[in-house]
Amino acid sequence: MNMSPPTPHPQSGALPPQIAFDRAELSVILSLYGRMVAAGEWRDYGMSFLRDMAVFSIFRRAAENPLYRIEKRPRLRLRQGQYALIGPEGQVLKRGDDLRAVLRDLERKLIRAVE
């Protein structure tokens, strides 16, 4: 009797990949973040890298809910766009495939804060 060893399932034991911001995306986000910190508008941030999305959360103070969340969901890139700007109540403020365009409203707030 010829018995071969069982073949493992291709995905068994393997951790699912995480979604993350690449260097160019982080450069855009951190540039805006640094200018808003310098203007006294923002004070802290947090990042989460999950299986289906990456999140950059922006806080006025570390002990409160985020003012904004910048989300990257690659599965939505062909539909609504993979980037979203989420407000403090969870509302989607802007969505699209161009990160700079999604963050443009926050850039305008920076200009008003500096003036």
Could you tell me if residue 115 is inside a domain?
Answer: no
pLDDT at position 60 over 90: no
Chain segment 74-96, per-residue pLDDT in tens: 888 888 889 999 998 899 999 99
Could you tell me if residue 3 is inside a domain?
Answer: no
Could you tell me if residue 35 is inside a domain?
Answer: yes
Could you tell me if residue 36 is inside a domain?
Answer: yes
CB 57 within 8 A of CB 43: no
Could you tell me if residue 9 is inside a domain?
Answer: no
Could you tell me if residue 32 is inside a domain?
Answer: yes
61-78: average pLDDT: 86
62: containing domain: 23-110
**In this predicted structure, what is the pLDDT of residue 113?**
59
Total domains in the fold of the chain: 1
Could you tell me if residue 16 is inside a domain?
Answer: no
**In this predicted structure, what is the pLDDT of residue 41?**
87
Could you tell me if residue 29 is inside a domain?
Answer: yes
Residue 105 CA to residue 56 CA, distance in Å, equals 16
pTM: 0.79
